[in-house]
Amino acid sequence: MLKKIIYKENKLPLIILLTIISFLSFNVLNKNFFKNLRFDLTNSNVYTLSDGTKSILKSINEPLNFKLFYTKQIGDVNPVYQNYYDRVTELLEQYVLLSENKIKLQIFNPKPFSNEEDKAVEYGLQGVEIMSGVYGYFGLIATNSTDDEEKIIFFQPDRSPFLEYDLSKIVTNLANPNRRIVGLYTDLPMLGTFNPLAKSQDAAAAPPWAIYNQMNEFFEITRIHEKTKFIPENLELLMLVHPKKIPEGLLYSIDQFVLKGGKLLVFVDPNSETESFSPNNNPVQKENGNSSDLKELLDKWGLELVQDKVVGDLLSARRVQIGESDQPSVTDYIAWIDIKKDHMDDSHQATSKVQRLTFATSGFLKNNKKNNNISFKRLVWSTKQSMQIDVNDVKLNPDPTDLLRNFVPSNEELTLVAEIKGTFTSNFPQGPPKTNRKDDFDKNEHVVESIKPSTIVVLGDSDLLYDEFWLKYEQSGEVMPIANNADFTVNLLEYLIGTKNLIGLRGKGVSSSPFIKVEKIQKEAEQKFRSKEQELLEKLNKYQIELENIQKGNSDEDGENILTESETIKIEEFRNEMVLVRSELRKVQNALRKDIEKLDSILKFFNIFFVPILLVIISLFIGFIQRRKRHQKHIIRETD
């Protein structure tokens, strides 16, 4: 019987039967033997466990208890939650497997009015209303042997790209409950502010910055301020943000801290936009300007922030809205730049997983060759389509269109973030400064040369830390990152302080993935049209001035203007010329819009129709080849 089926001319039933058997066999094998086999085709490898996670799981020395609560009715109401639950459980099962069962996973279904629901409420998990008065839960409680507790009160599907990061952070915090200490000195309101004179309670308090909150999740932050007498001995890392005017005594403490092996992360800024609208901005600060460079220390150590200059980058410029609210337009602001991965050091621990960074009127750094005992390494830099912009051109109310028209590339890549490693000489060769304090510095403990090598990382911008420059606020109330500014900052802290396993988990969750090639074409097209636009505007302005001069004419005794016949003709000619120029200007502006829309249409065609059309063509071609082969076999059989 089987032999007849095999040699039968019409093999379609056999093909269908084998297809069904293969499909069922594949699913059985996949469920039982290939459960942990995955193919991740996403750009950032969102669904692939990183080496950092594997290292964290292998280093667990004590049992960790994970309790996952999921009310199945949530998935019945909204399938999105069921799909996300499947992903969470799959990932947690991998964690259990890679931890060699040191993670104990329990799954509970807290049905309404059950003991499991009471447990979920007791743990502080967040419930969502399924129906009137009935709540469902989808959260995680994790504990270690000393009853330290970490939790995710509710798994939000929009945090799917961050899932591995969130879970690995929990494992790290429970496996290493003693957090490392970072000292923070800043002249900006990173920790939040309170103004008792504000008219409303909402206006009175500004919350801490998102980056500060993220730093606080991993490190114990010790505040260093102007009145700090001595840097604590247990500090290994000091973070200085926009250090405008540090007292001499504190400068000396930082100097000695570095020479004894301490590490620095410094954010300087030639034009702090954040300070300009900071609630703490006071008249004294305005007199001192809004720039910082830490020249008192960095200059002798070999690093320089170029004075009074910011970076303008045509290819990395961010799109901003300009004009009146009733007639807005969009253009490139070359002083706000969006650096992609191809302009970062992908071999460096802090930048290797970072996809995108945003800067606002950033300065740039140079090796000033004053210290031969260091190695200078750039970590982030601009494109060659960059120029140096005078800082005064971006203060107060800068004109993005004007900056774009005057853009002239320097064909030089400007360093935005730099690292120096090596040994340093004290900026206080004569010993500690006199402070007139009872507990003055001990001259006998003064260090002139580095006792051991140290590392300093300097960024030419402090605005990149502020929420507005790297977070996007949706109308729904959701807040999503458009860049990896927070990830990069914490990566640098972990790199400098010696922890590295969590670094590889960052950079996976950026919500915005721009078409880099498209952006480049758009910017080049806009630059070409803007030049033409500038030429026409200047021509229009010239006609307007000449027209005003003619219209003034000669006044009679009553003060009324008297125009000659030739002047009247000239005015009419100018008006006609102005109409033509305005018409040409509109054509140029429309040409730019149509050029971009045409590119957008081409992309949509390739994304939506090209692949299906290609598959149909390939299928027809294969069908044609097979049909031809069958026809040839039939001819041979008839010949025989």
- Residues of the chain with pLDDT > 70, as a percent, come to 71
Q: Where are the domains of the chain?
A: 2-32, 51-160, 179-307+363-383+414-433+443-514, 523-553+563-639
pLDDT of residue 537: 64
Least confident interval from 26-40, 332-346, 358-372: 26-40
Least confident interval from 38-42, 389-393, 612-616: 38-42
633 pLDDT higher than 80: no
pLDDT of residue 356: 93
For the domain spanning 51-160, the CATH number is 3.40.30.10
pLDDT of residue 600: 67
Confidence of residue 284 (pLDDT cuts 50, 70, 90): very low
**What is the residue whose two structure tokens read 């019945």?**
76
Q: What is the token pair recorded at 218?
A: 């991993």
Q: Tell me the per-residue pLDDT of 148-189, one tens digit each, with 9 for 90 and over.
A: 899 999 998 877 877 887 898 899 889 877 778 999 999 899
Average pLDDT on 110-125 reads 91
Stronger pLDDT, 585 or 511, i.e. the higher one: 585
Distance, CA of 462 to CA of 192 (rounded, Å): 16
Question: What single-letter DSSP state applies at residue 607?
Answer: I
Q: What residues contact residue 548 under an 8 Å CB cut-off, 6+ apart?
A: none
**Chain-centroid distance, C-alpha 225:** 29
Q: How far is CA 322 from CA 398, 403, 470, in A?
A: 11, 13, 19
Stronger pLDDT, 438 or 347, i.e. the higher one: 347
198 pLDDT higher than 60: no
42 pLDDT higher than 70: no
Stronger pLDDT, 387 or 567, i.e. the higher one: 387
**What is the residue whose two structure tokens read 């206006």?**
203
pLDDT of residue 10: 53
Average pLDDT of the chain to the nearest whole number: 81
pLDDT of residue 567: 65
Instruction: Quickly list H helices, 143-282.
Output: 163-175, 201-204, 210-218, 248-259, 273-276
pLDDT of residue 414: 97
Confidence of residue 528 (pLDDT cuts 50, 70, 90): low
Least confident interval from 98-107, 309-318, 472-481: 472-481
